[in-house]
A and B are shown apart, each in its own frame.
Chain A
C-alpha cells in the first residue's frame, strides 16, 4: 500500500499539487482506521490530506481517476490476476511492444521516454512534462527578433507529434507480434494503445482551468448617482467629467478622514503594565501616568497594475486618476503601468500633480503604448523585476480588460502572485457579458482572483473603493 500511495503522491506532485512527505505519513497512519476497500472512504481520505484548497479539488479528482481507474483497469486483466507472475501475458506483450519501439527508434527514443513509461503504466514523468508545458515561461531570446509569446503552444505540438509517432509504430508492431495461442486478440492490444494515447493527448490539450468557487464576483452595484452613475466612463461629456471628478474628490476626502481616524484610534490599546509600573516609580509607586501599548497601524499594502493600452485608453486615464488619489491617502501603494512591458509609476505619481502625472505615464514611463497588449509577457516581466513587492499583506489590484491579443496568457504567474499576496482583485472596464468573447482571457484569469468586478462607471467605482477600505 505504501508503494502505491507514494507513487500516487509523486503523480500528484508531478501534476502541480503540493504534497509533502508529512501528508503521505498522515495518509498511511489514517489508512489503519478506515476500510481501504471502500472506495468513497479511501478517496475522501486521500483528498482530505492531499488537497488543502477547494481550487485544487478538480485537479486531484482528475489524477485520482487516471491513476486508480484508467491506468489500472486498462493495464490489468482481472481474470488473470490469480497467477503468481505479476505481469499477465497481455501486459508482457505491451511491454514487449514498448521495448521494440525503443529499439527501433534508437537515439530518437530518448525524447519519447516519458511517453513510453506512461504507456507502460508509470505516468509520473509524463504528467510532470505536461505540467511543465502548461507552466512554461519563455525566456526572451535575443536571437528572436519577432516578439512571440507562443512557446507553450509549440512545445505542446512537439509532444502531439511524438504521440502520433508512437501510435503508428505501436499499431504496426501489435500486428507483427501476434503469436498463436495468445489469450487476447490483437484488437485488445491495439485498443489498449489507442485509449492510452488518446488519454495522453487529452491530458496535453486540456488546459488546467481550476475551479474557483470562492471567487467574489461583484457584477451589480446599488445605484447612487442616477444621472452620471451608470454612464460608461468612455462616453462622458466634458461637463459630466467635471461632475464625476467632483464625486471622486469627495470620495477621496472621505478616505482621508478615515485614514486620520485610524491614526487617532491607535492609542487606545491595552494598558502597558510594565511601562506604567516603571513610570509609577517617579510618583512613589502610584500609577499616575497610564501607558498603553501603542499598536502600530497595520499598513495594508496595495500593489496596482494598470493596463494603459489603446483598448482601455479612455478608462485608463480615469483609473490612473483613482490610483493617484489612493496613493495620496495611503502610503503603502505601489503603482505599475503595463502594455506588454511593466514600468513602475509610483515616483511619477508622487512628484507630480495629478494631470501632469497621468500625461507623464504615457510619455515618460518607458511604456510603449502603441505595442500590442500582452498580459502574459507583462506578467513575466513583473515576476522578473517586481515580485518582491508582493507579500502576505499586499492586496494586488489589477485594472484591465484582459484582452491579450491571443498570446499565451501565463495564468500560472497570476496564480503564483496570488500565492504570495493577501488577495487579488481584478477590475475590468468592460461589461461582464463580453468577458468570454474574442481574445479576452478574463475567464482564464478569473480562476486565480479573489474578487473580480466590472468597473466602468461611477457607481461601480464608488462601491469598489468603499468596500476596499471602509
Chain B
C-alpha cells in the first residue's frame, strides 16, 4: 500500500495500533514519497522501533530488522560466504580434477584450466545473504529497520553510506549488487554517539520525544481497552511526574502499559501510595531508583 497524503498516514498508522503525531506522520509520508531513509532519534522506549513495525504492517511489507552493536561487521550485516559448502565443493572438485585436466597437453594448460574453475568459489551460489542484502535483493519491497545504529562502529556506518544513497552494495569478489526494490529504511539512534554528517545528509531526521499526556492516554486506551477514564488520567500523570525525577532509567511507554495492565489485574480503581509502592517493579528497573521514588511517593502521585 502506498500513502496518499499525511492524513492517510495518520489513519493507516492508527489502524495498525500506532498513534502518530502530525509531525511523525508528515516525516513518514515524505520519506515514503521521496524514498529517503529516516533517522529516528529519541529516548529509549518512546516507540522508535514500534514505528517501523507499524509502518511495515500498514504498508503490508515484510520487516527486516538489523540490530547494530559494537563490532558488527559487513559479514554479519550484509553477506557471508558459506564456507562449509565451499569446503564440500573442494572435495568434489578434487575428485573431478582429473577429468578437467585430462584434455590438457601441457602443465601450463592444466593450470589455466584449473584457474578457470576458481571463480566458482566466490559466486552467488555460496553467498549467504544477511539482513541488508536480503532487503535489497527482495522481489517485494520491504521495510528495513537498522536499529540502534549509534551502537555500531564508525567503519560500519561508513559502509552503510553506499547502501543508503544508491541502494547498492559492493562485494569485492562479485561486484556491485543493485537493489531490485527500494526498501523503506528507518535508522534508530539513542544518541550513544553522534552520527557522521555524511550519514545524516542521506536521511531525513525525526525526533520522537516522550508523548504528551493526551497522546499517552490514547495509546493506553488503544492497547488496554476498557480502562477506566479517571484511573487512566491519574496513571498517566503519575508516570509523567516520575519521568521528571532524576532516575537512572525513566519509565517509558511500554512500562506505562505494563503498569496499567497490572492495575487492571489488581482491579484498582484509584492509585494510592501503598499501591504504587507495591507495584513499583513494573515501572522501575533499578534498586536505587526504587528507593528514590519511595521517598517521594506523595508528590509523585497526581
Closest to B246 in A: A219
Distance in angstroms between the alpha carbons of A430 and B78 in the assembled complex: 47
Distance in angstroms between the alpha carbons of A434 and B195 in the assembled complex: 32
User: Which B residues touch A101, using CB under 8 A?
Assistant: none
- The stretch among B84-92, B216-224, B229-237 that forms the contact with chain A is B84-92
Are B205 and A51 closer than 8 Å at their CB atoms? yes
A138 within 8 A of B: no
User: Which B residues touch A287, using CB under 8 A?
Assistant: 87, 90
B39 within 8 A of A: yes
| Nearest CB on B from A422, distance (A) | 5
Distance in angstroms between the alpha carbons of A26 and B203 in the assembled complex: 10
B59 within 8 A of A: no
Distance in angstroms between the alpha carbons of A41 and B81 in the assembled complex: 46
With contacts A54-B207, A273-B81, A285-B90 taken as known, whether A33 is within 8 angstroms of B33 at the C-beta atoms is yes
User: Which B residues touch A273, using CB under 8 A?
Assistant: 81, 83, 86-87, 121
Are A423 and B23 closer than 8 Å at their CB atoms? no
A392 within 8 A of B: yes
Are A33 and B30 closer than 8 Å at their CB atoms? yes
With contacts A33-B33, A54-B41 taken as known, whether A23 is within 8 angstroms of B201 at the C-beta atoms is yes
With contacts A26-B36, A214-B191, A271-B83 taken as known, whether A48 is within 8 angstroms of B204 at the C-beta atoms is yes
**How many residues of chain A have a CB within 8 Å of chain B?**
47
Distance in angstroms between the alpha carbons of A392 and B246 in the assembled complex: 30
**Which residues of chain B from 1 to 59 have a CB within 8 Å of any chain A CB?**
6, 22-23, 26-27, 29-30, 33-34, 36, 39, 41-43
Are B193 and A52 closer than 8 Å at their CB atoms? no
User: Which B residues touch A213, using CB under 8 A?
Assistant: 43, 209
Are B193 and A48 closer than 8 Å at their CB atoms? no
Distance in angstroms between the alpha carbons of A373 and B288 in the assembled complex: 36
A280 within 8 A of B: yes
Distance in angstroms between the alpha carbons of A270 and B209 in the assembled complex: 40
Are A30 and B207 closer than 8 Å at their CB atoms? no
Are A33 and B87 closer than 8 Å at their CB atoms? no
A88 within 8 A of B: no
B140 within 8 A of A: no
Q: Choose among A26, A44, A418 the residue that contacts B194 (Cβ–Cβ < 8 A).
A: A418
With contacts A26-B36, A30-B30, A392-B154 taken as known, whether A41 is within 8 angstroms of B204 at the C-beta atoms is no
Distance in angstroms between the alpha carbons of A45 and B38 in the assembled complex: 12
Are B205 and A53 closer than 8 Å at their CB atoms? yes
**Which residues of chain A from 225 to 273 have a CB within 8 Å of any chain B CB?**
270-271, 273
Distance in angstroms between the alpha carbons of A218 and B289 in the assembled complex: 12
User: Which B residues touch A422, using CB under 8 A?
Assistant: 154, 193
User: Which A residues touch B87, using CB under 8 A?
Assistant: 273, 276-277, 287
Q: How large is the interface on B (under 10, 10 to 19, 20 to 34, 35 or more residues)?
A: 35 or more
Distance in angstroms between the alpha carbons of A448 and B122 in the assembled complex: 47
Distance in angstroms between the alpha carbons of A218 and B249 in the assembled complex: 11
Are B34 and A270 closer than 8 Å at their CB atoms? no
Q: Choose among B30, B43, B81, B288 the residue that contacts A45 (Cβ–Cβ < 8 A).
A: B30
B180 within 8 A of A: no
User: Which B residues touch A280, using CB under 8 A?
Assistant: 90
A34 within 8 A of B: yes
User: Which A residues touch B43, using CB under 8 A?
Assistant: 213
Q: Choose among A44, A219, A276 the residue that contacts B22 (Cβ–Cβ < 8 A).
A: A44
Distance in angstroms between the alpha carbons of A315 and B288 in the assembled complex: 26
Q: Choose among A26, A57, A393 the residue that contacts B204 (Cβ–Cβ < 8 A).
A: A26
| Nearest CB on B from A318, distance (A) | 24
| Nearest CB on A from B119, distance (A) | 13
Are A41 and B90 closer than 8 Å at their CB atoms? no
Distance in angstroms between the alpha carbons of A400 and B191 in the assembled complex: 24
Q: Choose among B81, B197, B200, B287 the residue that contacts A222 (Cβ–Cβ < 8 A).
A: B287
- Give the interface of B toward A (CB within 8 A): 6, 22-23, 26-27, 29-30, 33-34, 36, 39, 41-43, 70-71, 75, 80-81, 83, 86-87, 90-91, 94, 121, 153-154, 190-197, 200-201, 203-207, 209, 246, 248, 287-288, 292
- Give the interface of A toward B (CB within 8 A): 18, 20, 22-23, 26, 29-30, 33-34, 40-41, 44-45, 47-49, 51-54, 57, 213-214, 217-222, 270-271, 273, 276-277, 280, 284-285, 287, 295, 298, 392-393, 418-419, 422-423, 450
The 10 tightest CB contacts between A and B, nearest first, are A214-B191, A52-B200, A392-B154, A48-B204, A273-B83, A44-B26, A285-B94, A52-B205, A33-B33, A44-B23
11 A-B contacts (beta carbon < 8 Å): A23-B201, A33-B29, A34-B6, A51-B205, A52-B205, A54-B42, A222-B287, A273-B83, A277-B90, A298-B71, A423-B192
